[in-house]
Amino acid sequence: MRKLQTDLSIYEKFDFKYPPVGVKFLETRPEGIEQLDKELSFCEMLKEAQQRGKPFYFSKENETCLGSAVLGMEDLPVFAEAGQIGIKLEIFQEPRANSSLYQQLPTLPRGIVNYVALATLDKLTFEPDVFILTASTTQAEIVLRAMCYSTGVIRESKTTGVLGCAWLYVYPYRSGKVNYTPTGLAFGMRSKEVFEEGWILISIPYHWLPTITQNLKEMKWVLPSYTEGREKFLEREKVNIDELKKISENA
């Protein structure tokens, strides 16, 4: 694994309740990191990393749900792709609805990822493929604004009611797009009580990590407009617009 070179210390300034986690997808077994000593579903690995206190990796033997299929470690069971699980769990009206989801699900090609390493920010020694934040709404606004600060890019959130792990880990990695979703919307994470509802999970792929990190160092985190109150904001907004109109008219 390539050693961590990106300075991510700016994220310590947020004082997140749950620490950020770096994720690495690997074909070969990583050296210097212990294998997980229990079985969990893919969606639970983030919480395990935050609570564990030291890096770990897992393989398909550690994964108990369909996450190993999402990662391409094994084939998706036919009964799952046929939409039968969603019927048994009363999530979907008919198998066709559940089955349709699998045709759009982001997955990794078979066999290229055999191990996944996770480490919290304070123990992160490798360049992450995906950097995941568990943020409050206020913290999430700052991070997402940092994404747009120098680029003007449109924010997008993509997920499905089941297999939220695919959108949390694989979609950002394959698409190169930042993804975010509130906790409490994904069936598996909600049923397994991974997080209490109301947090914002933000997945930053390596494509975006340098830009967001640099913008966080440069931009103002708390904007005056957020703290001055409605009336003062409206007053200042009117003054600014009037000034800009005059400049435009005299151009």
The answer to whether residues 25 and 111 belong to one domain is yes
Residue 124 confidence (pLDDT): 96
The answer to whether residues 134 and 188 belong to one domain is yes
The answer to whether residues 228 and 177 belong to one domain is no
User: Is the predicted pLDDT of residue 98 greater than 80, yes or no?
Assistant: yes
The answer to whether residues 40 and 68 belong to one domain is yes
User: Is the predicted pLDDT of residue 188 greater than 90, yes or no?
Assistant: no
Binned at pLDDT 50, 70 and 90, residue 47 comes out as: very high
Q: Are 43 and 188 in contact (CB under 8 A)?
A: yes
Binned at pLDDT 50, 70 and 90, residue 103 comes out as: confident
**Pairing relationship of beta strands 34-35 and 56-58 according to DSSP bridges:** parallel
Mean per-residue pLDDT, 88-105: 86
Q: What is the DSSP letter of 240?
A: H
The answer to whether residues 131 and 229 belong to one domain is no
Tell whether 4 is covered by a domain.
no
The answer to whether residues 136 and 78 belong to one domain is yes
> How many domains is the chain partitioned into structurally?
2
Q: Are 130 and 173 in contact (CB under 8 A)?
A: yes
d(CA 123, CA 118) in angstroms, rounded, equals 10
**Pairing relationship of beta strands 200-205 and 179-182 according to DSSP bridges:** antiparallel
For residue 234, the enclosing domain spans 223-251
pLDDT tens for each residue of 3-35:
999 999 999 999 999 999 999 999 999 999 999
Binned at pLDDT 50, 70 and 90, residue 214 comes out as: very high
The answer to whether residues 79 and 23 belong to one domain is yes
The answer to whether residues 171 and 248 belong to one domain is no
The answer to whether residues 178 and 228 belong to one domain is no
The answer to whether residues 242 and 201 belong to one domain is no
User: Is the predicted pLDDT of residue 182 greater than 90, yes or no?
Assistant: yes
User: Is the predicted pLDDT of residue 112 greater than 80, yes or no?
Assistant: yes
What are the φ/ψ torsions at residue 39 (nearest 5 degrees)?
A: -110, 130
Q: Are 21 and 78 in contact (CB under 8 A)?
A: no
The answer to whether residues 176 and 212 belong to one domain is yes
| 208 membership: H or E segment, kind and range | none
The answer to whether residues 146 and 250 belong to one domain is no
Least confidently predicted of 46-50, 53-57, 67-71, 228-232 = 228-232
Tell whether 205 is covered by a domain.
yes
Tell whether 150 is covered by a domain.
yes
pLDDT tens for each residue of 67-92:
899 999 998 888 888 878 888 888 88
Indicate the average pLDDT of the chain.
92
User: Is the predicted pLDDT of residue 237 greater than 90, yes or no?
Assistant: no
Question: What is the pTM assigned to this prediction?
Answer: 0.93
Binned at pLDDT 50, 70 and 90, residue 143 comes out as: very high
Ramachandran assignment for 152, one of left (phi > 0), alpha (psi -120 to 50 degrees), beta (any other): left
